[in-house]
Structure 1
Amino acid sequence: MIRILIVDDHPAVRAGLVAVLRSEPGLVPVGAAAEEQEGWRLAQRARPDLVLLDLHLPGGNSLALCRRIKALDPTTKVLIYSAFAHDELSVAATLAGADGMLDKTEPMLELFDGIRRVHRGEQLLAPVTPERLQDVQQRVPADDWPIVAMLLDGTSDADVAATLGVRQEELEGRIERLLARLAPTAARSRA
Structure 2
Amino acid sequence: MAAVCVFCASSVHLDRKHLDLAFALGKALGPRGHSLVSGGGRVGMMGAVAEGARASGAHTIGVIPQSLVDLEVADTASDELIVTTDMGARKNLMIERSDAFVTLPGGLGTLDELFEVWTTATLDLHHKPIVVLDPDGFYAGLWTWLGEIAETAFVRRRALAQVTLVTSIDAALDHIEENRRA
TM-score (norm 2): 0.45
In our comparison, the structure showing a higher alpha carbon Rg is 1
More helix by share: 1
